[in-house]
Structure 1
Amino acid sequence: METIRIDGRFERYEELLTLIRSSFAYMDGRIDPPSSAHALTVASLRQKVQDEVAFAVLAEDDLLGCVFCKPEPDCLYIGKLAVASGFQGKGVGRTLLAAAEETARRLKLPALRLQTRIELTENHATFAAWGFVETSRSAHPGFTRATSIEMRKVL
């Protein structure tokens, strides 16, 4: 496996969009509101790459996973962490997390932050095993119940 920075030279946006949508597809019908992954386009991914720090994991020429990292004043926000279904549980997510941690350290940010949906208990367990702890719960606009859990990992 090789970790690469997704930057202006990256041209595999259709494949990246397919990876994200397919790895988030298991959420369909489980979470409400639906995932923001449905709103992504090739154009919005190109913009995301300009606005954030993004990484991909490749094996041979296959795109196995990606993560987008957004610097915030006191942490690095982790978003759109996606791993191809056949490669989940094989270290791709941990590899992407390591790239995010290195980015946070380089930017002198003391923590990672992410959000996960309340219904996705298996994700809560994975993130906890990776050192994240729940810090708050929030509701999407129009909802009176909690829909998301925020988790942080202090570095």
Structure 2
Amino acid sequence: MAILPICKYPDPVLAEKCAEIDRVDDELRRLAQDMIDTMYDAPGVGLAAPQVGRAIRMVVVDTAEDDKRGTPMVLINPRVVAKRGQLVWDEACLSVPDYRADVVRASEVVVEAGDLEGNDLRIEAEGLTAVCLQHEIDHLDGVLFLDHISSLKRAMYRKRRLKQLRRDGQ
């Protein structure tokens, strides 16, 4: 078990379009387990590979209620293939410290992906799981939830974050 450092905005890896994964091996399985451990430790309900500095198309998600957590999904090369409805969700992100915002998302999604055993998955989700899947898959395309809010709110956060980084000597 390894807790990985989480990349924080404005780290350039968070803006990269991630590479497709062409094979699952022991190194990828170890990374997936480390990402799961990191997600639970943070604590969060989802984590994408670029958030731990790896520009590859893998996410881990566990949106179960607290007492039922422990069965995460590991999705390889996930993609949203269908969306329905609309909702507004108060989102936060492990890579965007000290900020939350209302984001408009599809209320239901269908996601296709692979798993660590090479099986094809088709996931139909709604509510929190639908939002989480959209949020994490966005990361694989270099999109943060900040990109879904107004340019004014985004600029205000960016200014505050950069000021904080300068103050912390980073």
Q: Which TM-score applies when normalising by structure 2?
A: 0.25
Of structures 1 and 2, the one scoring higher in RCO (CA 8 A, sep 6+) is: 2
Q: State the structure with more CA Rg.
A: 2
More strand by share: 1
Q: Which TM-score applies when normalising by structure 1?
A: 0.27
